[in-house]
Amino acid sequence: MRTELLAALKEADDYISGQELCEKFGVSRTAVWKAVKQLREAGYVIEAVQNKGYKIKSIPDRLSESELLSIRRTKWAGCSIFYYDTLDSTNTRAKQLAEEGCPTGTLVVANRQDAGKGRRGRSFTSPEGDGIFMTLVLKPDINPNHASMLTLVAALAVSAAIAEQTGRPAGIKWPNDIVMNGKKVCGILTEMSAQLDYVNHIVVGIGINVHNETFPKEFSETATSIYLETGKHENRAELIEKVLERFEQYYAVFMETEDLSGLVREYNARLVNMHRQVKVLDSKEPFEGQAMGITPHGELIVDTWESRRLVSSGEVSVRGIYGYV
C-alpha cells in the first residue's frame, strides 16, 4: 500500500483527493491515512489540505524498497529489491542470494557498508550513509570468458546516469572507475561464479560517492563526491533508477553480440584516458604509451613508440587527466 500510494502521489504531482485514492486502491479512508502517516514517518513531506486532498511536497533522500519500487521504470533490473540499513558488503549479500536462486535483476542496496570489498581481495571503507552501495545480480547465458566485459557495460551505465542527473560530465577511467574532474567518484567491483562453460551468476557492485563533504586526507587528492563537484545533493533513489535504466539499455546491446562492439564508440567518448598518456603498471614490464580507446573485447589499446599493445587487465595509471571536462 505504501509503495502504491507513493507512486500515485508522485504521478499526480498535484493534490489528489482521499476519495480518489480510496477508489483507486479499493481501501478505506483510514487505510489511506495510515499509509500517509507511515510515509511521513519515513521522512516524506505530504501536505493534506481540506477539499483538495494530499500532495507530496518533498521526498527524503532515504533509500528504501518502497521508494525504489515506486519510481521503477526498468523491465527486469531491480525486479526484486533487498534493502538494508547496514550491510557488511552488498556484493557478499548478492552472492548469497544468487546461490539461493534469486532471479536475474535482483538488486541489493545498502544505506551503509561496513566491510566493503575492493579489488583483489582488498577491503574498502565506505563512508557512512553518504553514498550509493548497490549490487545487481545477473544470470546471463554467456561464455564465462566474456563476463568481464560486463564491468565496462556497468561503467558506461554509471557514467551516463551521473551525467544525466547532474548535467556534468562523469568520465570513465579504464576499465571501470568513474571520475569527475579527474577524481574518482565511483568504483565498480564485478564478481562471477562460473563453471567450465557456464555462468552461475555475476554480481555487479557499484559504489558512488554522493553526499560526502570531505574525505580522509589520504583520499582527498584522488576521491570526490557528486556533492563536492556540483554543490548539489542529488536524490540517491533517482540516481539508482537511472543507473538501472541505462544498464538495461547497454546490456541489451552487449547481449546481441556478447561483446562490446555496439558500445565501443560511446565508451570511448566517455573514456578520460582517450588520447592521453597512460602508464601500464600491472604487467611484468611496465610501459607507457597513448591510450587509443578499447577493443570490442574491452581491452585498452595503447600505442607506444614501437608498437600497438592491448592491455587486458591490471591497473593502469593515468597521467594528466586533471582538468578533464
Residue type, 212: N
Among 11, 99, 128, 288, binds a second copy (CB under 8 A): 99
- Give 88's DSSP letter: S
- Give 22's DSSP letter: H
Residue 121 vs 323, nearer CB to a second copy: 121
Count of residues that interact with a second copy, criterion CB under 8 A: 27
DSSP code string of 215-243: --GGGTTTB--HHHHHS----HHHHHHHH
- By CB under 8 A, the residues from 30 to 59 that bind a second copy are none
Residue 130 vs 191, nearer CB to a second copy: 191
Among 31, 42, 79, 192, binds a second copy (CB under 8 A): 192
d(CA 299, CA 291): 11
Q: In degrees to the nearest 10, what's the CA dihedral of 81, 85, 88, 94?
A: 0
Q: Where are the alpha helices (DSSP H) in the chain?
A: 2-12, 18-25, 29-41, 65-70, 90-99, 150-166, 226-230, 236-257, 264-270
Report in angstroms how near the CB of residue 189 gets to a second copy at its nearest: 7
- Give 149's DSSP letter: G
Which positions from 137 to 156 touch a second copy by CB under 8 A, shown as an x/- string? ------xxx--x--x-----
Local structure of 39: helix, strand or coil? helix
d(CA 11, CA 9): 5
Contact, 174 vs 300, CB < 8 A? yes
Question: Does the protein bind a second copy through residue 255 (CB under 8 A)?
Answer: no
Residue 144 vs 293, nearer CB to a second copy: 144
Among 70, 92, 135, 212, binds a second copy (CB under 8 A): 92
Question: Does the protein bind a second copy through residue 178 (CB under 8 A)?
Answer: no
Report in angstroms how near the CB of residue 36 gets to a second copy at its nearest: 43
Grid cell at residue 211: 553526499
Report in angstroms how near the CB of residue 269 gets to a second copy at its nearest: 22
Report in angstroms how near the CB of residue 98 gets to a second copy at its nearest: 11
Among 7, 31, 194, 292, binds a second copy (CB under 8 A): 194
Contact, 137 vs 150, CB < 8 A? no
- Of 76-84, 92-100, 159-167, 233-241, the segment contacting a second copy by CB under 8 A is 92-100
Residue 42 vs 192, nearer CB to a second copy: 192
Residue 201 vs 270, nearer CB to a second copy: 201
Question: For residue 284, with 0-12 CB atoms within 10 Å meaning exposed, 13-18 middle and 19 or more buried, which class applies?
Answer: exposed
- By CB under 8 A, the residues from 305 to 324 that bind a second copy are 313-314
Report in angstroms how near the CB of residue 270 gets to a second copy at its nearest: 18
Q: Which residues sit at the interface with a second copy, rule CB under 8 A? A: 92, 95, 99, 119-121, 143-145, 148, 151, 175-176, 189-198, 200, 282, 313-314
